[in-house]
């Protein structure tokens, strides 16, 4: 099945709803549910994380989850590399032209 651009927002909201339900059950998650939450957390847009943070019932659970699993849910450096490589290349070009 092919995903179109109009399906993406729906998929993101479905992912956010799943994450919200899992956070709502935290810390009483099964090992499979915990792994699923760890897997989807880095893919959640900031808007959805902000909405969960502003929810009085979810906020303490989300904070506890994030604190306990901080190392497993942080964004890997390789995702930032695509941002830093063009900047480094531009810096080299500018320095080359100055010298």
Secondary structure of the chain as H, E, C letters: CCCCCCHHHHHHHHHHHHHHHHHHHCCCCCHHHHHHHHHHHHHCCHHHHHHHHHCCCHHHHHHHHHHHCHHHHCCCHHHHHHHHHHHHHHHHHHHHHHC
Handedness of CA 36, 39, 42, 45 (dihedral sign): negative
Give the model confidence (pLDDT) of 10-36 as tens digits: 788 888 899 999 999 999 999 999 999
Q: Is the pLDDT of residue 6 over 70?
A: no
Q: Is the pLDDT of residue 41 over 70?
A: yes
58 within 8 A of 52, measured Cβ to Cβ: yes
Q: Is the pLDDT of residue 77 over 70?
A: no
59 versus 82: which is more confidently predicted? 59
pLDDT above 70 as % of the chain: 85
Q: What is the pTM of this model?
A: 0.66
């Amino acid at each position: 099945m092919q995903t179109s651009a109009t399906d993406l927002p729906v998929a993101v909201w479905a992912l956010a709803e799943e994450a919200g339900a899992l956070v709502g059950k935290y810390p009483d998650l099964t090992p499979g549910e915990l792994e699923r939450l760890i897997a989807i957390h880095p893919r959640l847009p900031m808007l959805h994380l902000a909405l969960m943070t502003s929810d009085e019932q979810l906020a303490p659970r989300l904070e506890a989850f994030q604190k306990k699993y901080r190392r497993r849910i942080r964004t890997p450096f390789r995702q930032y590399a695509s941002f830093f490589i063009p900047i480094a290349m531009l810096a080299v070009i500018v320095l080359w032209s100055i010298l």
